[in-house]
Structure 1
């Protein structure tokens, strides 16, 4: 059973079956690309996304807006901005807007709630592009355009001014991160009063790039500051948004880098094998009879205080917000939210299962780690869709009662071993060598089997991520 036709007890997830392209009321999370989610002052959430309408010519260009009361059900809430703002259109000739970034904004001494939206205007294959700024006192709008913040021109600049993301550093200074194919990802400081570059015309510091041999395919960057490790976490999407997107991560002590992955390789290394750089967290995959999810990418990170009913109330919770395509029809795409965790070593990992609601995911009773599991190894050198395979999961700690330990679904940091992938050439009866993971255990919704289940997500010493879900 899949997200296409699943109704989850207690959450009544809306259908994601294809709706008429011109009927936004039936879209749900369909027809959304490059999403970001922010929480309003009334507790509801707003999603802003690229105005991809899957051929709908009855929907105005701009930035599509959706609203939710639970991060699960989303209703279309209109289109921010009346088409492409005049200055951005004059610069880029863009027919629509891409990749909005919306952040709560306040200048020094300002107690009023204000919102900044940074949007991108460009055309495919060109780096004559502009990042503009619009402001509002409410997420529902109206939005007032403030003109271009960063602009690049083909034949003059190597940068590509699209895919904006804003991060407040450890001192509270806002930084704009942007970039794409052409020369990579850049970041620059913004003025806290105006939301514009501190230095007019500043195109920023290079923090990530890829080789010409892979068409310099990197975009959709997002930087999260983690106060727990006092460092910056860079997420970026590699390869093609049409069929091979995958999400990579690296960290740095300063927002301007250098950013390095789990194996200490630099995100600006153009000499190593392109697929070896950046720790891959999410790629194309499928669990059992569930939908095959193709080319997940262009993520942002939603940071939330502990949600009611969730494990770890009171602590920050993280959600990776990204779009993804259907493997059986890649022209169709939706947005998913996945719970995101940090391992004992402080590295992010993501859930193998899309978020279905904290109460729905809660395990009805404690379960043993022993038993059947299905897992995906997110090989960094592959862009193929990976089917989950049977594995055995063991606690790596040397405890006499380890095999019998029960987990009640509360998030727990562990070191576990996965052994056997269901595709081994070992002789019958031969014990397979296990892979030890710095991992997290947590409750999830098993979409393939329509039930709450225990899941894990972790990183191996070789820099490869695994995630999986326990069977019945």
Structure 2
């Protein structure tokens, strides 16, 4: 619990308790069950699946299936208005409203860990045991106490039981517990510094994965919670490579929190933007691992027909325009947008599988790569090019969307390259945004001449003409390449299609003064008996 957010916690969670009681009286089934801070799913002795959650006496519900499509409320472990007396020695002002429980079965015994908080920061975590989730429960007392003693999360690893816990004030810790008493063995280890909370811990292969929340919870659709994940080869850390796992908002889901995974189901809570921000349980079966990291939805693609080291134009599905380096620039921070196909090197990308994601480098700046500004995880963070740093801000998963289209997902933020506002305009900006499945987040990779072609892919003609320097301030050199005879007409248009400059020259090259033109973007069109060449240029 955050010291500056006590009121929000008490208000919203008390309101949640009332909401849960009203729902259980009127509705026994819903698309999303009510929940805040759900525990890991656990199966009872009668075969039903249970989840415990924040509420009076520790609120509980069960379902006959792992998707909780027919949930029903269950008895609370502690009678409403009653709680273990030891809590009063550690928590000031406790009134029986328990937070963020977690549960695990060891042998024939269920261990339920629960959070107790009241006025101010001091809090405690206790444990109760039972052989049936419906009770009776026997309280076993305090496990840990302190300013950050909330949000327990359990992991049984090769017969050894661990509990991670912590909150926004002090960060996240881990401790080993006895599998017979449920109490601590030895000391704790600090995993993550403050301004995080709600941990969840799982193991896959040789890695331990620690999930936790950043941002602020408990304010409905205004909550800034989002879930991140880091990994380590040692359960006690250090955990590195933090990346966004669940963004702050995706569709109607806002502020996801409290990771749980069991029975091939991921569980977490979210605030429902379609229902006044009420807290709900989300159950998903599309959780998996690829390349050493967890993912949701479609698995990151190996690229399908995309060949590592090949050169491609990257075409937006909604507009049929291509990803383009603004002004054909090659400086760090040069913007990336969409533009009509001009068959130039500003619009051709070398796509390379790094073994931990894909690098996309424009032919105009082969030492650079597609990059998210400042490695930001923010919605609308700009997409640009930057010198290759070999970090996750410059590595991308190519998520198969079917029909030859891919989502380009940042391995740093988990968000997708998105053409802003579904625009079809030349120059529409590329940003990152949570995955929507929209056509403005879908791209096809079409091989161009000189690339290593996947079988059956068409080859596009390679342009030999070029203009330089670009950007320029005074003059523009036009080189049509190859053997060229006869006259060439050239026209320079502004972005509104107005003719700003025109003329003609004989031979393969010419120099044109542009120092009288306003600063901005222009389209150069050259026509002769051999055909038409177009190129975008920038006057600065």
TM-score range for the pair, normalised by the shorter chain length: 0.5 to 0.7
For residue 44 of structure 1, report the CA deviation from its aligned partner: 2.3
Contact 2:399–2:409 under 8 Å retained in 1: no
1:101 is aligned to 102
2:237 is aligned to 257
Distance 1:19 1:141, change over 3 A: same
Question: Which structure 2 residues correspond to residues 209-358 of structure 1 after superposition, within 5 A?
Answer: 209-210=193-194, 216=195, 218-226=196-204, 228=205, 230-241=206-217, 242=219, 243-261=223-241, 278-287=242-251, 292-302=252-262, 304=263, 317=264, 319-327=265-273, 330-351=276-297
Q: Does 1:33 pair with 2:36?
A: yes
2:72 is aligned to 75
CA distance in structure 2 between the partners assigned to 1:27 and 1:45 by the alignment: 15
Alignment equivalent of 1:140, drawn from 108, 116, 134: 134
Contact 1:294–1:327 under 8 Å retained in 2: yes
For residue 34 of structure 1, report the CA deviation from its aligned partner: 0.5
2:536 is aligned to none
For residue 193 of structure 1, report the CA deviation from its aligned partner: 1.8
For residue 345 of structure 1, report the CA deviation from its aligned partner: 1.0
CA distance in structure 1 between the partners assigned to 2:284 and 2:128 by the alignment: 28
Q: Secondary structure at the match of 1:22?
A: helix
**Aligned-pair Cα RMSD in Å:** 3.6
Question: Which structure 2 residues correspond to residues 33-182 of structure 1 after superposition, within 5 A?
Answer: 33-36=36-39, 37-51=41-55, 61-70=56-65, 71-73=67-69, 74-83=71-80, 84-92=83-91, 93-95=93-95, 96-106=97-107, 113-123=108-118, 126-152=120-146, 159-169=147-157, 171-182=158-169
Which consecutive unaligned segments of at least 5 residues does structure 1 have?
Answer: 1-17, 52-60, 107-112, 153-158, 211-215, 262-277, 305-316, 353-368, 370-392, 400-416, 444-452
CA distance in structure 2 between the partners assigned to 1:418 and 1:91 by the alignment: 61
CA distance in structure 1 between the partners assigned to 2:287 and 2:24 by the alignment: 33
For residue 151 of structure 1, report the CA deviation from its aligned partner: 1.1
2:490 is aligned to none
Distance 1:181 1:469, change over 3 A: same
CA distance in structure 1 between the partners assigned to 2:168 and 2:246 by the alignment: 20
Q: Does 1:208 pair with 2:192?
A: yes
Which consecutive unaligned segments of at least 5 residues does structure 2 have?
Answer: 1-17, 309-313, 324-335, 350-359, 361-369, 371-394, 417-434, 440-540
Distance 1:82 1:439, change over 3 A: farther
Relative to its length, the structure with more strand (as a share) is 2
Contact 1:457–1:468 under 8 Å retained in 2: no
1:313 is aligned to none
For residue 469 of structure 1, report the CA deviation from its aligned partner: 4.0
TM-score (norm 2): 0.53
1:195 is aligned to 182
For residue 440 of structure 1, report the CA deviation from its aligned partner: 6.5
Q: Which has the larger radius of gyration?
A: 2
1:428 is aligned to 340
Distance 1:168 1:283, change over 3 A: same
Greater RCO between the two (CA within 8 Å, min separation 6)? Answer: 1
Question: Which structure 2 residues correspond to residues 384-423 of structure 1 after superposition, within 5 A?
Answer: 395=304, 397-398=306-307
Relative to its length, the structure with more helix (as a share) is 2
Distance 1:332 1:463, change over 3 A: closer
Contact 2:42–2:103 under 8 Å retained in 1: yes
For residue 337 of structure 1, report the CA deviation from its aligned partner: 1.2
Deviations 1:432-466 (Å, cap 9, x if unpaired)? 866774466699xxxxxxxxx99998854555444
Distance 1:419 1:249, change over 3 A: farther
Distance 1:427 1:205, change over 3 A: same
Deviations 1:150-202 (Å, cap 9, x if unpaired)? 111xxxxxx51000011122x32111111002220000111122110013xx4
CA distance in structure 2 between the partners assigned to 1:341 and 1:225 by the alignment: 14
Deviations 1:46-76 (Å, cap 9, x if unpaired)? 011011xxxxxxxxx2111111112232111
Distance 1:232 1:438, change over 3 A: same
2:385 is aligned to none
2:444 is aligned to none
For residue 343 of structure 1, report the CA deviation from its aligned partner: 3.7
Distance 1:40 1:457, change over 3 A: farther
CA distance in structure 2 between the partners assigned to 1:454 and 1:68 by the alignment: 39
Deviations 1:399-436 (Å, cap 9, x if unpaired)? 9xxxxxxxxxxxxxxxxx89579797433346586677
Q: Secondary structure at the match of 1:35?
A: coil
